[in-house]
Amino acid sequence: MHNLKAIIESLLFASDTPLTVDKIKAILEVKDRNAVQDALKSLAEDCDSQERGFFLREVAGGYQLRTRPEYRQWVRRMKQSRPARLSRAAMETLAIIAYKQPVLRTDVEHLRGVDSGGILRTLLEKGIIRVLGRKDLPGRPMVYGTTKRFLEVFDMKDLSDLPTLKDLEELGEAWPNDST
Amino acid sequence: MHNLKAIIESLLFASDTPLTVDKIKAILEVKDRNAVQDALKSLAEDCDSQERGFFLREVAGGYQLRTRPEYRQWVRRMKQSRPARLSRAAMETLAIIAYKQPVLRTDVEHLRGVDSGGILRTLLEKGIIRVLGRKDLPGRPMVYGTTKRFLEVFDMKDLSDLPTLKDLEELGEAWPNDST
Amino acid sequence: MDQQDQATYRVDLGDLFEGPMDLLVHLVRKNEVDIYDIPVALIMDQYMEYIKLMNVLNIDLAGEFLVMAATLAHIKSRMLLPVDQEQEEEEEDPRMEIVRPLEEYLQLQYAAEDLTDRNQLDWDVFIRCYGNGNERPDEEPDGLVQVSLFELIDAFQKIIKRVSPEHLFNITVDTISVKSRISEIADLLEGRGSVTFEDLFEKEVTKSQLIVTLLAILEMAKVQVIRIMQHVSSGIIRIFNA
């Protein structure tokens, strides 16, 4: 096979688990075990001699490309500065607050069916929701609503940009031919 | 900084989104924009001249390492990916949104001549298009546009990478009997 | 033919022609005719052949196909009418009715083809993949969040589907306008502590906006996040944070 080394590199690059020699052989339909092993060896040497940002590591019975430990501080810093994704639970809670505001914690928990105190605190810390006030009920429960930051995160001019359930229904079912 | 290129390579290797020059500068605390740009350029050249399994691509306003398209069949086989491609109808709808945005569902359907709600929903779910807001018309219909994800998926630096409709028409006329 | 057979022979129209424009483009290309000089009679005959064929094949014809058939018939009849000599210069070619949409449709077909030809992510090219370790934690130092509006409404719709019908509520554009106004008033109160009733209505112009503001104040009072007070002597009504 022409350029076996580069092809193996592309596989290792795109794989989320270590690849065994057998697996590589199967994917590329090569019979020659030595050819694959030679290519891996040559790739490992390239990574070292060319001072690349990553190296080839034999791990858990397979091969994997990994960033060089010398650069750990930078990679770590990059990972920390990534925007967070909201968990499913946080997304649900936020959706209830956005669509039902002004809303009580008990309303949120009633709809979700589980305690939501921790998630409310996280959303408050992120500045996506706020306490609009306290209701004159026993325990003076807090009333929640969304913030300007919420509008920024979702890139909306104001809350009237929120799609309604009717909007969603009118679109109909997702197109069946385009499953991911 | 010693070995800027290798460090940048390790960042690009470990990132799941395209990295902008500014982002790289901030992570590495380098002031010199040119140094980062030179390192990126040199890295791109290395990937090409050394025939690696991946290449450096400027996409959605940043830089990203991607496997070479020549090796698509092997990577696809490794991933065992089902055809994740969009259908022709979805491509058509997407083209309308990309070129005519901000655009209403009725505009899309007027141009295509068929109901397109389901396809819009699929594209929304995939995060390729988004709701930009509402139009001040009866029923306050939603207005659609493309996302950054669209640029990432279709390999574009920004929307100006789209050829003009006029250019496309001239190209198209070169093969008038191109079967559909 | 029993039910089973009918189902077997039913062909999805989407597999053949996406819509009437698609069919029209196919006919124009097949006959190698200039879209600016379409032989309407010929194209219409062939179009009708396809409609008949689709009927025979038991294909559900979308209404759009029949609308297009009517449009073609209309153009054909207008072309048969004698042209008034005096009006000839102003009279537009009746075929323009179909040429312009066809032109636009063709352009977009080229645009779609161009998109298809690009190196598509996760099909032609692949980026590094992090498997299940990709789940990003909730807690991030700078508190940035990355989500789309669609994910939000999708999450909401799933909740709605889960809860029992008696807890269902209507979310319409109107109720959302009220929520939006509540948010604005809360912003004002956060900044100033109190605001007069008049201030809130000052900038309002349309009747519906007046109503939205009133509903917002009423709802806020109902959940007791505001207090509404009236000054005894001046009669000015003021709204306070509760």
Q: Kindly tell me the sign of the dihedral angle through the C-alpha atoms of A156, B61, B102, B93.
A: negative
Considering only residues 97 to 136 of chain A, which have any Cβ-Cβ distance to chain B shorter than 8 Å? none
Please give the tally of structural domains in chain C: 2
Within this chain, do residues C207 and C148 fall inside the same structural domain, yes or no? Answer: yes
Q: Which domain holds residue C187?
A: 1-11+142-242
User: What residues pair up with C194 in beta bridges, in sequence order?
Assistant: C240
Q: What is the distance in angstroms between the Cα of A145 and the nearest Cα belonging to chain B? A: 20
Write a three-state SS string for chain A. CCCHHHHHHHHHHHCCCCECHHHHHHHHCCCCHHHHHHHHHHHHHHHHHCCCCEEEEEECCEEEEEECHHHHHHHHHHHHCCCECCCHHHHHHHHHHHHHCCEEHHHHHHHHCCCCHHHHHHHHHCCCEEEEEECCCCCCCEEEEECHHHHHHCCCCCHHHCCCHHHHHHHCCCCHHHCC
- Asked if A132 lies within 8 A of C186 by C-beta distance, the reply is yes
Per the domain annotation, does C135 fall within a domain?
no
- Asked if C111 lies within 8 A of B95 by C-beta distance, the reply is yes
Walk me through the domains of chain A, giving residue ranges and CATH numbers.
4-77 (1.10.10.10), 88-174 (1.10.10.10)
- Asked if C149 lies within 8 A of A90 by C-beta distance, the reply is no
Provide the whole-model pTM. Answer: 0.80
Q: What pLDDT is attached to residue C137?
A: 41
Q: Read out DSSP for B2-13?
A: TTHHHHHHHHHH
Within this chain, do residues C99 and C150 fall inside the same structural domain, yes or no? Answer: no
Per the domain annotation, does C183 fall within a domain?
yes
Average confidence (pLDDT) over A40-69: 93
Within this chain, do residues C83 and C5 fall inside the same structural domain, yes or no? Answer: no
Among C99, C116, C133, the domain boundary falls at C116
Residues of chain B contacting residue A14, judged by C-beta atoms under 8 Å apart: 67, 75, 78-79
Within this chain, do residues C42 and C5 fall inside the same structural domain, yes or no? Answer: no
Q: Which of C19, C123, C127 sits opposite B64 (nearest CB)?
A: C127
Give C60 or C47, the one with higher predicted confidence.
C47
What count of CB pairs under 8 Å joins B to C? Answer: 146
- Asked if A27 lies within 8 A of B74 by C-beta distance, the reply is yes
ipTM score for this prediction: 0.84
- CATH classification at residue C207: 1.10.10.580
Q: What pLDDT is attached to residue B82?
A: 66
Within this chain, do residues C22 and C7 fall inside the same structural domain, yes or no? Answer: no
Per the domain annotation, does C205 fall within a domain?
yes
- Asked if C127 lies within 8 A of A130 by C-beta distance, the reply is no
pLDDT at B127 > cutoff 50:
yes
Q: Which chains touch C (3 or more CB pairs under 8 A)?
A: A, B
Average confidence (pLDDT) over C31-36: 88
Q: What pLDDT is attached to residue C10?
A: 45
Confidence category of residue A178, pLDDT binned at 50, 70, 90: low
What count of CB pairs under 8 Å joins A to C? Answer: 163
Within this chain, do residues C176 and C217 fall inside the same structural domain, yes or no? Answer: yes
Inter-helix orientation angle B21-28/B4-14, to 10°: 110
